[in-house]
């Protein structure tokens, strides 16, 4: 599972930035380390005056790596397939 959060409005999104976990490993309330980063947070206000493709790129930026991390964690190698 990957969680994508887009913050809308002028609220304080510090808690969402914390969940994003880009700069540190998150821990549960019992101290257990998160196995991988599954959250991508993007504040919409940073993308108001740019092309919508820029927002899409930021929102989806971490998804490929999150998928790779999941498959590695599950010891699932890529399936060889024919090019499309």
Q: What is the residue-level pLDDT of the chain in tens, covering all 84 positions?
A: 888 999 999 999 888 888 877 777 888 889 888 888 888 889 999 999 999 999 999 999 989 988 988 999 999 988 876 666
What is the distance between the alpha carbons of residues 43 and 32, in angstroms, rounded to a whole number? 28
* Nearest CA among 20, 23, 12 for reference residue 58: 20
Instruction: Enter the pTM of the model.
Output: 0.73
Q: What is the pLDDT of residue 8?
A: 94
């Amino acid at each position: 599972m990957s969680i994508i959060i887009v913050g809308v409005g002028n609220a304080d999104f510090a808690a969402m930035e914390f969940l994003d976990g880009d700069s540190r490993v998150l821990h549960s309330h019992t101290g257990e380390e998160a196995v991988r980063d599954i959250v991508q947070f993007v504040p919409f206000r940073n993308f108001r005056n740019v092309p919508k493709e820029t927002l899409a790129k930021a929102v989806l930026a971490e998804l490929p790596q999150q998928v790779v991390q999941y498959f590695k964690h599950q010891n699932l190698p890529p399936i060889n397939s024919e090019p499309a």
